[in-house]
Amino acid sequence: MTYPAATTAPKTVLITGASSGIGEATARRLAAAGHQVVLGARRVERLAALAKEIEADGGSALPHTLDVTDPLGMRSFVQAALDHYGRIDVLVNNAGVMPLSRLDALRTDEWDRMIDVNLRGVLHGIAAVLPTMTAQGGGHIVNVASVSGLRVDPTAAVYSATKHAVRALSEGLRQESRHLRVTVISPGLTHSELAETIADRDTKDAVAGQMAIAIPAAAIGEAVHYAITQPAEVDVNELVVRPTAQG
């Protein structure tokens, strides 16, 4: 049987949380493959430095300040991409926070922050790009979830709830469209700045002890590249990428 080759046509790809970790690694991987990347994050100086590096290597990158909890800011991010490149092929909803703690610690502000960034931020991204993708007759939304969306561990109840929700809304979106591709990528232990958002000292120390087996963020960037470069009729719905040693 002969399988169709993955497409290599350049795409315009919007990436949230692009200033570090998985977002940065994904931007570098896709730009190296010839795609045009639009970089969104709050730390605009880091985005500018990343865009400069990408362009010095022959790629195309547009940095734009973005707070995913602000729907107007998300729409501005999308409009900047349209103004600069004329279309939107892929949105990578990557921005996230992970301030783990036991529920009885009652860190309710942290619960709200996880819901705002990890879930509402994804919804804001979907809402901002759907009209354009519908008008174009196609597009691809990649939502970065977590293996915590497949299981629940102590201290991760709220974080897991947000990632379970991302998987649920992704499946709903997929079923509602016959022209839109939807992919969920669930990383396991990965080197990023997520652990730095943990304020609970005991939990932070426990997570730090697990990071010896973590995989590089580039592994997730490679998974995104794989998903978006498949032929248009192929929708890679879910990829779980974790260290071989992770239980």
SS3 for 172-217 is HHHHHCCCEEEEEEEECCECCCHHHHCCCHHHHHHHHHHHHHCECH
**Whether pLDDT at 5 is above 60:** no
- Burial (0-12, 13-18, 19+ Cβ within 10 Å), 135: exposed
Average pLDDT over residues 186-215: 87
Mean pLDDT taken over the chain: 94
pLDDT of residue 3: 42
Point out the least confidently predicted range of 28-37, 104-113, 194-203.
194-203
Amino acid (1-letter code) at residue 242: R
- Neighbouring CB atoms inside 10 A of 179's CB total 11
Q: Where are the alpha helices (DSSP H) in 39-181?
A: 44-56, 71-85, 108-114, 121-136, 157-176
What is the pLDDT, as a whole number, of residue 208?
85
Using the Cα atoms of residue 141, residue 195, residue 197 and residue 61 in order, give the sign of their dihedral.
negative
Per the residue annotation, which of 3, 85, 159, 226 is the catalytic one?
A: 159
Report pLDDT digits (tens) over 67-125: 999 999 999 999 999 999 999 999 999 999 999 999 999 999 999 999 999 999 999 99
- pLDDT recorded at residue 8: 64
Residues of the chain above pLDDT 70, percent: 97
Whether residue 159 lies in the annotated active site = yes
Q: What is the pTM of this model?
A: 0.94
